[in-house]
Structure 1
Amino acid sequence: MPSSTFENLSPAKKQHVTTALLNEFSRHTLADAQVARIVADAGIARGAFYKYFADLTDAYKYLYRTAIQDIHVPITRTDHLLSAADYVQQVQEFVTGINGSPYRDLIRLHFKTNEGLVNRPPVEIKIHSAQEWAVMVLIHETIKGCLLDPANATAALDRLRKALQKLL
């Protein structure tokens, strides 16, 4: 978590640091990221970086959480499960949104490499049935596949549609 010092920065300075983090973590894995490049890009002192974040992992978690909050559009939840076609359309729109966002490379590197390097806090998702859980897992794996292998996104979406038709 960023420090209160970071949270109390002016919006412009906070955005400048966040942009420098995005530049670094969109081009380099967490293991290869360097504070030196971030501080040079942000125009801040190295000591300031450590006043804002405990370490690179802390900075990465902050940026990833920020990205997810900016791009995440929840798949529609209603009192009942949707049709396979509705879910596939929502996934396709979500993937298209990520591909058109400044976070595209960050998210791809996250799925490709960084996901295994950071401990994720448990996320509370209210799942009512095994069927809902299966739909959620299929959707998330399809999103990951579409982002990591865009050339086969159509096949991944078709596979999702077929699996959901059998499941629903």
Structure 2
Amino acid sequence: MPKATFLNLNAAKKEKISQVLLEEFSTYSLLDANVNHIVKAAGIARGSFYTYFTDLDDAYRYTLSQVMATIHEGFVGDNPFQATRSFIDQVEQNPYYAFLSNYYVVDEAILAAHHQETSSTNWDKATADLPQWLADVAVHHLIREYFLAPTDKEQILSLLDALAGWHKQEA
């Protein structure tokens, strides 16, 4: 995540850099993104970039967290399958579409390979509320499947409809 120097920037400069990062990672995969592009577009020195972020992966993770926080704001209600269906149905118009496509098709695997992360599963939550945990896992998997195979959109939407019916029965 960003260093304190980035977090303490004035809002306008932080927003400018965040927008440049989003544009870079929407245009290029993590393998092809370039710090030189970022510093030039943001109007900052290369050294400043490294006072804000440890490396390109760090800047990417910050951008990913911002995108995911914004997207999750739209997932309200009791039925995650219906919210996911709406999201996938309209995703081509989403301003984060290119970023998400890069993430699911390329960058997710790169991040995992770079960091050999441990599981992010909260096993206590999974055990305490199994139907909700299963719903969360299913919708995230189906969103990933959409980006890997957009031509399967109708099958994914149909599966979400079936899961929505299952979820309603479980509630």
TM-score range, shorter chain: 0.7 to 0.9
Cα RMSD (Å): 2.5
Percentage of matched positions with identical amino acids: 32
In structure 1, which of residues 110, 115, 135 is the aligned counterpart of residue 108 of structure 2? 115
Unaligned runs of 5+ in 1: 78-85
Moved more, 142-151 or 99-108: 142-151
Structure 1 residue 99 and structure 2 residue 92: aligned?
yes
Any conservation in 1 of the 2:20–2:41 contact (CA below 8 Å)? yes
Any conservation in 1 of the 2:35–2:56 contact (CA below 8 Å)? yes
State the Cα distance separating 1:123 from its structure 2 match: 5.7
C-alpha change, 1:7 and 1:33, in structure 2 (3 Å) is same
Structure 1 residue 157 and structure 2 residue 145: aligned?
no
Structure 1 CA distance for aligned equivalents of residues 166 and 3 of structure 2: 48
Any conservation in 1 of the 2:82–2:164 contact (CA below 8 Å)? no
Unaligned runs of 5+ in 2: none
Aligned residues: 160
**Could you list the per-position Cα deviations for residues 88-138 of structure 1 after superposition, in whole angstroms to 9, with x for gaps in the alignment?**
422122234643332211111111111122246726482334443332222
In structure 2, what is the equivalent of residue 80 of structure 1?
A: none
Give 2:159's aligned amino acid.
Answer: R
Give 1:105's aligned amino acid.
Answer: A
TM-score, with length taken from structure 2 = 0.79
Any conservation in 2 of the 1:3–1:51 contact (CA below 8 Å)? yes
**Could you list the per-position Cα deviations for residues 52-79 of structure 1 after superposition, in whole angstroms to 9, with x for gaps in the alignment?**
10000000000000111111134644xx
Q: Which has the higher helix share?
A: 2
Moved more, 158-167 or 4-13: 158-167
